[in-house]
Structure 1
Amino acid sequence: MGMSQITFAVAGSLAPALSAFAHAFTARTGHEVQVHRGPAGLLAEAIRNGMPVDVFVSASPDGPALLHREGLFGPARTIARNRMVLVVRPGLDTSIGDPLAFLEDPRWRIGMSTPGADPGGDYAATFLDRLAATDPGRWRGLRDRCTSLYGASLPNRDAAPRSPALDALHGNRADLLIAYGTTAAQIAGALPGTRILPLPLELAPLTRICACARQGSSAPARRFLDDLQGAEAGGLLRSHGFLPP
């Protein structure tokens, strides 16, 4: 069988781990994998509008479910999970260990990703809505203090990978970020003194990371999808802080 090219669209939060997996797949099979990264909501919309993609990994099930309903992609498979946390910039009050206490304090600027474009923003918005419903008086005005700082556009494919969440905190555009645990770990590695406070699971359940392949895709693309559920991909994802499915 001749060698094929597989076009792979992957959520930005998963790109470091799964780009490494794609390179390893090419080395093992000879099938070239072309990687497109970006906010999963925007990737799903681009695929709907004709972007040629064989395999898609999203940070939530929503985009894959939409593509499946429209008959473009097969059913999604959950390959990993993640956790939502509060990232506290270096220098903020280290005596506070409760993420809700930080969120309640009106002094702090709260950043997040962009709902509708990026699942990270959708998860953050859902958490904020659930939190507000627990005590509307206490949390009045919380959403007004939250700003979408990244996740609103697809990156240039030729640009060097970067963390827009890290850029937001490093650039002093926020004091707190509602973000994925894996993103928070990346930030903490680059900004000593950053703290990571897990959000309550009853308000911010573990996220679902889903993979799917285009209907009628090639055998190599289907093999790539199958391998995304295997031990090698799972080990890479765990090494980057993702949780098992």
Structure 2
Amino acid sequence: MIRRMLLILLLSLTACSTSQAIATKPVELTVAAASDLTPAFKEIGSLFTERTGIQVVFNFGSTGQLAQQIERGAPFDIFYAANKSFIEELATNGVIDPNTMTVYAQGRITIWTRADQPLRPQQLSDLLDPAYKRIAIANPEHAPYGQAAREALERAGVWDQLKDRLVFGENIAQTLTIADTGNVEVAIVALSLSVQSSGRWVLIPAELHPDHPLIQMAAVVKGTKHADVARQFMEFVNSPDGHKIMKKYGFILPGEIVEPTR
């Protein structure tokens, strides 16, 4: 009898310990984010964890490819897109919570070359020089920064002459890597990646890509079990601390965004 009571007590204590462990298991937030956000969000994520104790796991990639994954049920809590049109489409399809749709920044594109590269382009028309044998841009089929690059090249009147020299990266971070490793002479990449690189870069006028202004939007993915924490992270990105980091990487903050004229 005593043995049975001890066994029951032991099982009860084990069950309580297990329940407590489950209850105290730290929340882990999974964020799908456009790859132009990589350096800024690594910094923001570390600060958010330091302040809240909540771990943030980032999945960086092409906005278009991440949107497809979310459509197919990928277990993300939040989606940070490089162009608001992808969030708006997901909202139409009922995949994200429309009440959480928030513009968090606007991006810019640059002409980027390695520091040891003797070629120093100042504008897109300079790329017509045959010395630029290969030019990297993000794939415009699914990457907003690639779409902006294509439009800028078209409006500069050089797309047709340069399209056979183009090398496509799967996302904007990979595009910079292609150039940084010397596989192309020049690349069109995100300002946010350019400012933290060791290369040289020149801003491309925003007026050259008005149809793809890189107004960036985020939203909470429907069905997440961490909706409250997801909103907390979004608020942190748009807080003074978050804005300070975003500005450091060249992003235009929400209150400073000006819709382009066409």
What is aligned with 2:217? 210
One-letter identity of the residue aligned with 1:145: R
Q: Point out the more displaced range, 104-113 or 19-28.
A: 19-28
| Alignment equivalent of 2:94, drawn from 71, 75, 82 | 71
1:165 & 1:219 partners in 2: Cα distance? 35
Counterpart CA distance in 2 for 1:170 and 1:5 is 33
After TM superposition, give the deviation of residue 235 of structure 1 in Å: 1.0
Aligned length: 223
User: Match of 2:11?
Assistant: none
Could you tell me the percent identity over the aligned residues?
Answer: 27
Q: Cα RMSD between the aligned structures? A: 2.4
Instruction: Classify the secondary structure of the residue corresponding to 2:218.
Output: strand
Equivalent residues of 1:60, 1:208 under 8 A apart = yes
CA distance in 2: counterparts of 1:117 and 1:85, whole angstroms: 19
Aligned partner (choices 101, 115, 118) of residue 92 of structure 1: 118
Q: Which amino acid aligns with 1:201?
A: A
Structure-2 residue corresponding to 1:103: 127
| Aligned counterpart in structure 2 of residue 170 of structure 1, from 180, 183, 196 | 180
* Residue among 84, 88, 95 paired with 1:61: 84
Deviation at 1:28, TM superposition (A): 2.1
- Counterparts of 1:179 and 1:61, CA distance in 2: 19
Q: Is the 8 A contact 1:112 1:150 kept in 2?
A: no
TM-score by length of 2: 0.75
What SS is found at the alignment partner of 2:156? helix
Classify 1:39/1:139 alpha carbon distance in 2 versus 1 (closer, same or farther; 3 Å): closer
Superimposed CA distance per residue, residues 139-183 of structure 1 (whole angstroms, 9 cap, x where no aligned partner): 64222222213429xxxxxxxxxx533431233221111111122
Equivalent of 2:59 in 30, 33, 36 = 36
Structure 2, unpaired ranges of 5+: 1-22, 255-262
> Where does 1:1-12 land on structure 2 (aligned, <5 Å)?
4-12=27-35
CA contact (8 A) 2:124 2:153 kept: no
Long gaps (5+) in structure 1: 133-137, 153-162
The change in CA–CA distance for 1:27 and 1:91 in structure 2 (over 3 A counts) is closer
TM-score by length of 1: 0.80
Aligned to 1:235: 244
Deviations 1:54-105 (A, max 9, x none): 11111111321221111111233111112111113433344x63x1332222
Q: Which secondary structure state, in structure 1, belongs to the residue aligned with residue 250 of structure 2?
A: coil
Q: 1:112 is matched with which residue: 137, 140, 151?
A: 137
Query: Relative CO higher for 1 or 2, CA cutoff 8 Å, sep ≥ 6?
Result: 1
CA separation of 1:21 and 1:139: change in aligned 2, threshold 3 A: closer
- For the pair shown, the structure with the greater C-alpha radius of gyration is 2
Partner of 1:179: 189
Preserved contact between residue 124 and residue 156 of structure 2 (Cα < 8 Å)? no
Report the structure, 1 or 2, having the larger helix content: 2
CA-CA distance at 1:216 after TM superposition: 5.6
1:124-143 to 2 correspondences below 5 Å: 124-132=149-157, 140-143=160-163
| Partner of residue 195, structure 1 | 200
2:147 equivalent among 122, 126, 130: 122
